[in-house]
Amino acid sequence: MHPLLRRQLQRAYDGQEPPDDPAFRKLLDLIEAAYAQADSEHELVGRSLRQVSDELLERNRQLTEELANLTEYEQALANSRTELQEVLTAIPDHVWLVGDNGEVLNPRPQLPSALSDALIEAGGVQAQAKKARIEGRIRLWEFELPSADGIKLYEGRCVPHGTRGCVVLVRDITELRDIQQQLNLSERMASVGVMAAGVAHEVNNPLTFVIANLDHAVQSLSKNTSPQILEEALEALREAKLGAQRVSDIVRDLRTLANPKTDARESCDINRAVDTALTMTANETRHRAEVVRRREDLPNLRAECSRIVQVFVNLLLNAAQAIEPGNAKDNRIEIATRQSGNWIEIEICDTGAGIESKDVKRLFDPFFSTKQGVGGLGLGLSICRKIIDEHGGQIRVTSVEGAGTCIIVQLPLSLAQPEPEAPAAPAAHAVERARVLIIDDEPDVGRAMRRGLSQLHDVTLAQTGAQGLRLLAEHAFDLVLCDLMMPEMSGMEVMRRIRADFPDHADRVVFMTGGAFSEAGSKFLAELEAGHLDKPFDQRELREFIAQQLARLGHRRIGG
């Protein structure tokens, strides 16, 4: 009997046995069965509750662990955000996030908003971000922004961020560009240093017979005027003029190489540029190898000619320095220019020491050099590649150690300029006599010019800018020919004063120069509509220049 039922019967019958009635017994059996079923169900419920309790405890443990992990993750995220903010604060770049809708978000609000807004506007940040998203690639560009310290140069970089917009970084590269220009200048000066002895040699040779011939002519004419002596003197003078022309050509080539202008594309004769480089490096090459020149007729290219010459000078110096001096008859440096498909090719090959295969791929790395104990910064070929890249070209190198090296420079034919139509020959006409003021601080130059012009024009000389201005205050002149580089008062200052004090003479002032050795001087000459006269010049060139300028002015006299 179920213990609970027994206790209940004992309480009901005061501990006596219940009646032994079949019907009562049957009822007890049913009650006992119900108790047993209840016990079974209770046990089942208990087990279920225990299982649920265990599951709840396990879930609680998991939640507690997940909560701890979440707290750790939140802390790590907060740390990452702090570190990112510190990085953004530390880097010199300006950073923005540009959304698909063009909205610009500044992740560094502590920076001056005025500068940020100015950079966004000047750099066209939103437009650049849109282009980067459309192109699906990183976009680089440069722009300028005026500041209290002058014009600042900035570089922009836009990185597409999936479909969520772009990350834009802008950096001030003014100082970096200045350093690059200084390094470029240092490398150019290293090349000039190597050429200095050669240039001195090339100049001294013609100067020797110029001086000797002039001395002979002076002595001969002062002692005797017989026909034979006069003929010898004339021959000496003609040879002296040829020598002076050689010096003039060398100076012109030097001026081309040392041209301070940058980003000034002009019509460039590639064959002439190669010849200039050959002249500049002749002293380095002649004692090391036989120079063989092959050329084809080529169209002129629109290029920065002085920088193209710099490339050829560097390549020729490298070729020469790869060959030991003293055995020129057994070595060769070959230079060929040709048109190949859509390219103009300049090939320079030497029979020098060659380059190890492991070094060929590093030739164009900045500061890498295969020359031990030879001047330079190891920037020559790096600068060459940069110059050619900027012109849309390329450089290829092949070399065999112990056998020599070939370098091919390719410039795109798309830079070619159409051949200009030959100008019509000017009609012959008598030049009306004009009043010409010459301002030059070199009295010998002034007197030589007056001798050449005196039969055609009335020439007045001034040795300083101040003297020239005084003469302008006292007299009217049909043309003023002024030297650009003078002490005390430069030609640029003279022009400024004339525009202010004698405006009716301003369009009558033209310039001559032996070389503009400053960027300001070069810019000034480039902006002159009337052109200028380069020194040295002969009497024919001087007279033609004067005639052209008077024709430009219609030779209208001032003051009758």
Per-domain boundaries in the chain: 3-84, 94-172, 183-415, 435-552
Q: b vs e for 123-135, b when ≥16 Cβ sit within 10 Å of the residue's Cβ?
A: bebbebbbebbee
**pLDDT tens for each residue of 468-514:** 999 999 999 999 999 988 888 889 999 999 999 999 889 999 998 87
d(CA 540, CA 9): 152
Q: What is the pTM of this model?
A: 0.52
283-308 tens-digit pLDDT: 788 889 999 999 999 999 999 888 89
| Superfamily of domain 183-415, CATH level 4 | Histidine kinase-like ATPase, C-terminal domain (3.30.565.10)
Residues 151/144, Cβ–Cβ less than 8 Å: yes
Give the phi and the psi of residue 377 in degrees, each rounded to 5.
-105, 5
Contact by Cβ (8 Å): 453, 544: no
pLDDT at 187 over 70: no
Q: Radius of gyration (Cα) for the chain, nearest Å? A: 46
What pLDDT is stored for residue 271 in this prediction? Answer: 95
Query: What pLDDT, in 10s, does the model give residues 421-444?
Result: 544 444 444 568 899 999 998 888
Name the pLDDT band for 224 (thresholds 50, 70, 90): low
| Answer CATH for 94-172 from 2.40.100.20, 2.60.120.280, 3.30.450.20, 3.30.1490.100 | 3.30.450.20
Instruction: Note the CATH number of domain 435-552.
Output: 3.40.50.2300
Q: What is the model's pLDDT at position 171? A: 87
Question: Do 435-552 and 94-172 fall under one CATH topology?
Answer: no
Structure tokens belonging to residue 428 = 């012959």
